[in-house]
């Protein structure tokens, strides 16, 4: 078998086999690149409400906390409350909290829930759930290098690595180096 045919077979078969992982890493990589715009793992909703219930620290109870949750329309399961300072009450629920300024009656309601799809992809991308998956990820990364190298030799002639492909490869190598120098 000629080396070009072996090259094409390796490129094709590894490309097909690792298609799913490539998509997972590409999507989660884009999501992780934009952490300053959003949280790809969780959806965090917040709003401000005004409380119309008088809160007295000395006789505050779980029942009063439940009434406040009802007033601010939080239906999550109540956990507990505490007073972090003289002027603030914090009520915890499953997946969020309500912080109340005792002087103004203003309540800051925050709920947190897992973001579907992206959370799972990110988990696979950077958490490596088990040792076996770590090995699989290492094989995937090595295979990406093999796919990149075999891809250089798929096309012959002036459009391949001895022609236009060489220039594109050089630019593709230099761009990350330019960014690295610019950011260091």
**61 and 23 housed in the same domain:** no
Q: Pick the last residue of a domain from 114, 139, 162.
A: 114
Distance CA 41, CA 118 (A): 6
What are the beta bridge partners of residue 44? Answer: 112
- In the chain, how many domains are there? 2
- Whether residue 145 sits in one domain with residue 109: no
The pLDDT tens digits for 81-98 are 999 999 999 999 999 999
Q: Looking at residue 114, what is its pLDDT?
A: 92
| Same domain flag for 158 and 178 | yes
pLDDT of 126 above 80? no
- Per-chain mean pLDDT for the chain: 91
Same domain for 89 and 66?
yes
Distance CA 58, CA 12 (A): 72
Tokens of 156: 């012959």
């Amino acid at each position: 078998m000629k080396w070009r045919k072996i090259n094409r077979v390796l490129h094709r078969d590894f490309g097909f086999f690792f298609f799913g992982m490539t998509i997972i890493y590409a999507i989660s990589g884009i999501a992780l690149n934009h952490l300053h715009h959003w949280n790809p793992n969780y959806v965090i909703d917040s709003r401000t409400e005004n409380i119309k219930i008088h809160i007295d620290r000395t006789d505050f109870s779980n029942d009063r906390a439940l009434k406040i949750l009802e007033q601010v329309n939080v239906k999550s399961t109540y956990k507990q409350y505490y007073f972090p300072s003289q002027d603030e009450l914090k009520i915890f629920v499953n997946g969020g909290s309500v912080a109340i300024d005792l002087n103004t009656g203003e309540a800051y309601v925050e709920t947190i829930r897992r973001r579907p799809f992206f959370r799972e992809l990110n988990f696979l991308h950077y958490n490596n759930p088990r040792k076996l998956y770590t090995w699989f990820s290492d094989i995937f990364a090595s295979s990406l290098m093999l796919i990149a190298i075999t891809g250089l030799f798929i096309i012959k002639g002036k459009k391949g690595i001895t022609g236009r492909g060489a220039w594109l490869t050089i630019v593709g190598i230099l761009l990350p180096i330019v960014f690295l120098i610019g950011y260091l």
